[in-house]
Structures are given as structure tokens and as C-alpha cells.
A = this chain, B = another copy of it.
Amino acid sequence: MEQRILTYDSTLRDGEQSEGITLSLEDKLRIVERLDAFGVDYIEGGYPASNPKDIAFFKRVQDMDLKHAKIAAFGSTCKKGTAPEDDRGLADLLSSGAPVVTIVGKTWDEQVTRALMTSLDENLRMIGESIAYLKSKDVRVVFDAEHFFDGYKANPDYAMACVSAASSAGADSIDLCETNGGALPFEVEEIVRAVTEALPGQQIGIHCHNDTGCAVANTLAAVRAGATQVQGTVNGFGERVGNCDILTTIADLELKMGLSTVGPENLRQLTAVSQFVAETCNMSVPTHHPYTGASAFAHKGGLHASAIARFPEAYEHADPQLVGNTTRMLVSELAGKASLVAKAKSLGIDLSDKPEKTQEILDTIKEREHEGYSYEVADGSLAILLQTHLGRFKSHFRLESFRVIVDDYEDSGARAKDAMSEATIKIHVGDHRFVATGEGTGPVGALDTALRMAITEFYPEVAGIELVDFKVRILDENVGTDAITRVVITSRDANGVWGTIGVSENIIEASWNALVDSVEYGLMRMGR
């Protein structure tokens, strides 16, 4: 039988420590729902003693109908000089109603004496009594052994005494924390092995940070040494350089080490979970993220793209479908014809019998990329470019001119508030000329409104095209505000999502051009 490794997600607690991430209560509940559907075993929800949002979270989460995951509340051992039954923090943990309580305790002697400022014996008492008390209240107890690896390196006897105290007191799992993230896999493996050998039968877990770039490898090393619970956060979100990425770890355990976690069916949700949680955290999945990034199975070099067609396993370490991702051929300056033909095919355009056209299109792409375009992120604009070169593209409308006006007035001091934007566009659809004015708080919104107003009589389907994201990148920082601006718009309709791109020295012009491609490609997709 395959060995099962338990997964313990800390996105809502340690992940929220990530610079730039702040989650609302609703965000946290949606992430719980998604992680539960994905098959994670434990979901650490936060600190019930810390703030009103977390208190409300533990209340609300009890009403959810989770199919598999158990919720954990996070806190500390009792305070020094305090009995567990008198400790406010432990009381808060218990009153959270969470079926799992995770308490962190110190295991590094110097941390005890210099940071906690108490005796080594008192710390052992705090660990042992806190766990025994919680166990008497019928919750599952995880002991997070803070700084365990640094502690073990400094004073192995004391570090072992701490986890032995936790084990004797009945901790269900002792999760060794590589708190500072400075360890390497070979050290982790050796130290975890010392613990699993000293405490046979005790469940041991592992919690790593990525400061040496080795969080996943450290976690896998711990599993090799006998740890059976892995902690981590979705996409590796977390303080400093982040926590162990639980998704990469799950994929490595399942696909590379033959161990079972969420199982092969759920594993296919990996990419979707990565995206969902990133979006909920208002972050992007890094393009280069292992397994789940948009580039994870993307191939750029002409050589590779043609080789993949012949022998896929030669250039892909795993079948992207197993993690819900797909192979992607990139169009770029380095790409050969084979890449472009494959990319066009994925957009439903057959270039296979048109070598001269393909070369012509490649030349155009090369020239446009030189100007600042990047078709890698703009399938919609690429499809328009391809169809234009094949003589099959017909604009749905033609611009005569537009004018955008933004008026703004004083706040207190020099900062402005209450801007109003107005866009007037003059446009031709066939023989008809339309003049439309749109208002909006922002100039792109005003243009968008005016454009839709102008064409809706001819193209009522435009109502089904929604603009979902708008990104701006300044391409050459050295020339300040005169730099080339690249705008990428993500749009969607009922059937999917597409990207379009506009490049100009003027952010409004770049936005307009990306907007036009968005609508043109949207109408094209709908068969107009």
C-alpha cells in the first residue's frame, strides 16, 4: 500500500504574513472551501486570540459543510509562570471550536533564555502542561517546535527534551519548524531522522521556509527521514521569501516519490487551486511557478518545440495534465517556424501548408516585439495579427478620433480627489458614423463605455465581453514618463478568457488599442 502523507495548509495563517497579502473574512472562507475540495487534510485558519476577523472566521467556519479537511486554530503554549487552565491564549484556542489546536513552543535554548527570558525547565513545563491540558479537552493537538533545527544544532539534548516532553504529554503530531529557513536538505534529513528514531510511533511533521531556496527540498528530505505530515502554504506565500510551497510539495510527493497525499484525481486541480488562491490573495501566480505557472510547461526555443512534437517526454518532466496545466508553445524572437505553427494551431489557425506566410508573420512578430509587444501574454492580439496576415481579418469598426478629458480638483493640499473622466469617440461601422461620449471615474472606463455605446446597435454581443484585468508595464525606465507603455487587458466571455495588448508612449493610446483588440477578438470568437 502507498504510504499516505498528511497535508497541513497554513496559507490563512503563515501565508497571510506575506508582504502584500491581506485577506478579508470572506476571502478566508472561500479559500477554506477550495482547499477542502482539493483534499487537504488540515487547514490552519488563524489566531483566534489575535483579532476580530479571526474570531469571526472560527465562528463562521463551523457552519461550513467540509467534506474532508479539519480546521486548526493557531496559538502558543501557556505563558511562563501560568497554569494552562488559567491561560487566556489557550482558552481562546479552545473556545474557537476548532477540532485541531496547533501551539507553537520554543525548542532552542538561547531563544528560551534570551527571547522568552525564562528557564529551560519552565519552558519544558509550558510545553508539556499545555499539551496535556488541551488533550484533556478532546482536541487534536499539533505541537509546532519553533526553531527546532537551529535549536538542535546549538543544543541537541535540549531540543530533543522539548519534543520528548510534547510527545509524553500526548501531542498528536510534532511538527518540526525550520523557522529561519537557513537549513539545507542534508541537515534536515539527518536531524529529522534523529527525532523519528528517538520517538518511534510518534507522528512527526515538518514546517519549512524558503530562505535558502530549499523549502520544498527540505520538506521532501524530512519525509524521507520519516516525517508524515507536511506543512506549507499555497504558492509558497509567506513572510520573507515565503513558506514551503504546499502545491509543489504535493506534486513532488505524488509524482516523483510515489507517496499519496490528495490523490491523483484531486492532483488535477493543482493549477486551478494555485490560481484561485493567488487571485483571492490579490496576487498573481508567478509565471515561472513549478507545475502551476503559465510557463511551467511552456517551450520557447525552436529546437525544443519541434523536438517535443516528436518525443514529448524528452522535454517535459511530467505530463502537465496530471496537475491540470497544459503545454504551451511560446512565440518569441527566438522561436522558429515550428513554434509559431504549433501556437497558431492552438488558436484554431492552420499555418502548416503556408511556410512563406509563416516567415512573413514571424518577421512581423519580431519587429513588433522590438517595439515592445509581447504576444506571449496576448493570444487575442496574436490571433488578430495572424488573421490579418492571412487576409481574413476584417475590423468590426473603424476609429476616426477620440478625445479623453480628465478634470480634477483640490483635496486638502496638493493631492487631488473626485476626478471625472469623459471620453468622446467618433467611429465608423460600415457606412454609419457614430459619435458617443462616455463618462467614467477613470479614462479607460470612459473609453470603454463610449466604445460599447457606439457599437452596441450593430454588435449587441459586446455586452457579453467583460474586462477583468488591466495591467500596465513601463518598458524603459530610464526615460521616465516618456517611456513605452505596454497595456495588457484580460477579457472574458461565457466561454473563456483572452489577453490583448497595446503598446504606445501614451498610456491612454496603449489602453485603447488593447481595448479594441479585446472587443475585436471577442466578437471574432462569437463568430461575428
Contact = CB atoms under 8 A, between A and B. Distances in A.
Contact of A217 (B184, B279, B414, B442): B184
A115 B300 contact: no
B467 A111 contact: no
Kindly name the residue among A217, A311, A332, A473 whose own CB sees the greatest number of chain B CB atoms within 10 A.
A217
Interface stretch (A28-36, A195-203, A391-399): A391-399
Given A115-B310, A217-B214, A374-B20, A317 B181 contact: yes
A18 B317 contact: no
B442 A213 contact: no
B472 A472 contact: yes
A359 interface: no
Contact of A469 (B180, B249, B282, B474): B474
Nearest to A310: B115
A288 B240 contact: yes
Interface string A296-324: 11111100100100110011111000000
A18 B288 CA distance: 9
Contact of A301 (B182, B239, B397, B467): B239
B17 A180 contact: no
Kindly name the residue among A183, A184, A240, A445 whose own CB sees the greatest number of chain B CB atoms within 10 A.
A240
Nearest to A402: B408
Nearest to A441: B505
Contacts of A506: 406, 408, 419, 421, 441-443
A184 to B, nearest CB: 6
A277 interface: no
B408 A508 contact: yes
Chain A interface bracket (under 10, 10 to 19, 20 to 34, 35 or more): 35 or more
Contacts of A245: 213
Contacts of A482: 440-442, 445
Contacts of A242: 288
Interface in A367-381: 369, 374, 376
A480 interface: yes
Given A239-B299, A300-B19, A414 B442 contact: no
A317 B212 contact: yes
A349 interface: no
A408 B512 contact: yes
Contact of A508 (B221, B299, B406, B466): B406
Contacts of A293: 241
Given A17-B300, A213-B217, A415 B442 contact: no
A340 interface: no
Contacts of A416: 399, 402, 509, 512-513, 516
A185 B256 CA distance: 11
Given A186-B224, A213-B290, A404-B408, 20 more contacts: A22-B369, A111-B311, A115-B307, A182-B256, A186-B221, A213-B216, A213-B217, A214-B252, A239-B299, A240-B297, A395-B413, A399-B409, A405-B405, A406-B443, A406-B509, A408-B506, A414-B427, A419-B509, A466-B480, A507-B507
Interface of A: 16-20, 22, 108, 110-111, 114-115, 147, 179-186, 210-218, 220-221, 224, 236, 239-242, 245, 248-249, 251-252, 256-257, 279, 282, 286-291, 293-301, 304, 307, 310-311, 314-318, 330, 332-334, 369, 374, 376, 395-411, 413-417, 419, 421, 427, 440-445, 448, 466-478, 480-483, 485, 502, 504-509, 512-513, 516-517, 520
